[in-house]
Amino acid sequence: MKFVKKIPYALKRAVFRASPALARTLGLDFRLRVPSRMFMEQEVFKYVNQQFRRATTAPAARCLFIGLDKHNWHYDRLLDLDFYSIDLNPRNAAYGPPGRHVVGSATELSSHYPPNSFDVVFANGLIGFGLDTEEAFNQLMFECHHVLASDGMLVLGYNDKPDRLSFKVEQAAGFEVFKTFEPGITGMTGARHIVEDGFRHCYVFLRPRRLGHAAGQMDLVAAA
């Protein structure tokens, strides 16, 4: 609505503080209009919605968005899936969908969700913004694998710059529990897309590999 877009930011915040439910009803958002976010909101979400169209004879697909704040709290209105969210900061719980938000860590998803809980997981903007080490990244990926359906999808996003990334994502052990795939998104040639702006934000599209357990360790048993 054009009316909503013209509401000043301070007034939007005041409405939200008074009643998040009213802010949601009015369609208020605090979106960041930068290239990487626009690619996510326009191209990635369009592709995901096409892949997981709601069917009247089947339960709706479920997605998990890791890391929720005021800048992306409107994402559940853009995605045609049952939307769940998790964020470590208790203050950000106000932005989560009622009854479907968890206060918790991205590296402890299995503490909150059983296996095969989600068809899509979005892990965007975590690396270099609190999840900074290769060890933490590996744990994130193992946990995402745990909660994803066997034919599910992980959308991984991060700034591909040395000041935010201290390791090679594709060479990390956690990356190996997934296989890349090329989505049907206009302008993409491959599984990896870099938004060529000052942040060099990179999106990678992944599907879970099947894993086995040997001597208590997760071993790769199926190649791409």
CATH code, 153: 3.40.50.150
First and final C-alpha spacing in the chain: 45
Number of folded domains that form the chain? 2
Residue 21 lies in a domain: yes
**How many CA atoms lie less than 13 Å away from 101 in the CB half-sphere?**
18
C-beta atoms surrounding 35 within 10 Å? 13
- Shared domain check, 121 and 72: yes
pTM of the prediction? 0.87
Whether residue 155 is found in the same domain as residue 91 = yes
Residue in 155, 158, 182, 188 with CA at minimum distance from that of residue 63: 155
Are 161 and 81 members of one domain?
yes
What are the beta bridge partners of residue 121? 64, 154
Q: Are residues 101 and 22 in the same domain?
A: no
Question: Taking a C-beta distance cutoff of 8 angstroms, is the pair 197, 35 a contact?
Answer: yes
Residue 223 placed within a domain? no
Amino acid at 108: E
Helix (H, G, I), strand (E, B) or coil at 60: coil
Q: Do 144 and 154 form a contact (C-beta atoms < 8 A)?
A: yes
Q: Residue 218: its pLDDT value, please? A: 47
Pick the more confident residue, 166 or 103.
103
182, part of any domain = yes
Are both 13 and 39 inside the same structural domain? no
Tokens 């968890």 belong to 102
Q: And the tokens for 197?
A: 């702006």
**The predicted structure's pLDDT at residue 215:** 32
> Which residue range is the domain that position 173 belongs to?
31-208
Q: What is the pLDDT of residues 70-97, one digit of tens each?
A: 999 999 999 999 999 999 999 999 999 9
pLDDT for res 166:
87
Residues 137-151 pLDDT 10s: 999 999 999 999 999
DSSP bridge partners of 123: 66, 156
Q: What is the pLDDT at residue 8? A: 83
Tokens of 212: 């086995």
* Residue 56: inside a domain: yes
